Amino acid sequence: MASVPLRSTRAQIESFLVTNESWIRKTHDKVAKMRLKQALNWRQTGLLPVWGAQFLLAVEEVGNLPRQQAKLELDEGGLSMLLPSSLLSANGPELSRWPAEDAHALDRLVDSFYHGQVRSAGGLLIPRLSQEIAVKPGNLAVRKMKSRWGSCNPRTGRICLNSELARYDEKFLRYIVIHELAHLRHANHGAEFWTLVEKHEPQARELRKQLRQVSR
């Protein structure tokens, strides 16, 4: 995908694409490699970020556990990935060497884990913060998003949070919840909106800046 000025003609766009074809391809390949590296990283290092802390992932073999019940668990003992014997015997203990199909299944386990973490933490934060801000939110939704950390539907009050927030310090989740709840009173990003947000999170603008800098 390439960004061009809104008033560009089709001929100008085609000329730009032809002239910059080599650069576009190199950039596309570079981005694709970066994304692949990020996806593989946790399987290579065995480290997963959870609420800003790095956890060494322990893989536990669970006899006849159905594949659909494989999961991640976080408790006082640390972070564990429970996998059935059939999956481990087929692919071996080195997760970084697993074939693409089963490796993607592992990534989905991580996504599901983050989803649950954000739903649980967000479900606790929203009632308390909505009372402080004096708003009545609707349902909470959680999903993995590429371009937003959260969203709000002022009409229904529905709050949606990015599951990837579970990777980072909980202060970011709190800020995003405040940000989206504030939209229930101010649908734009005007002065009144930011006054309300900063009343409940004085470091809002700095947290926003930091979120823009992190890699999702």
Continuous segment of H or E residues that includes residue 92: none
Vertex 117, ends 115 and 121: CA angle to 5°? 120
What rounded mean pLDDT belongs to the chain?
85
Q: What is the pLDDT of residues 188-203, one digit of tens each?
A: 999 999 999 999 999 9
Over residues 93-136, the pLDDT tens digits come to 788 888 888 888 899 999 999 999 999 999 999 999 999 999 99
| Structure tokens that stand for 142 in this block | 């959680």
pLDDT digits (tens, 9 = 90+) for 176-188: 999 999 999 999 9
Residue 7 has a pLDDT of 53
Q: Which residue, among 179, 177, 170, 42, has the nearest Cα to 111 in the 3D structure?
A: 42
Q: What is the predicted pLDDT for the residue at 45?
A: 84
Question: What per-residue confidence (pLDDT) applies to 37?
Answer: 42
**Ranges assigned E (strand) in the chain:** 47-50, 53-62, 71-75, 78-84, 140-143, 150-153, 158-162
Higher pLDDT, 161 or 35: 161
Name the CATH topology of 121-213: Zincin-like (3.30.2010)
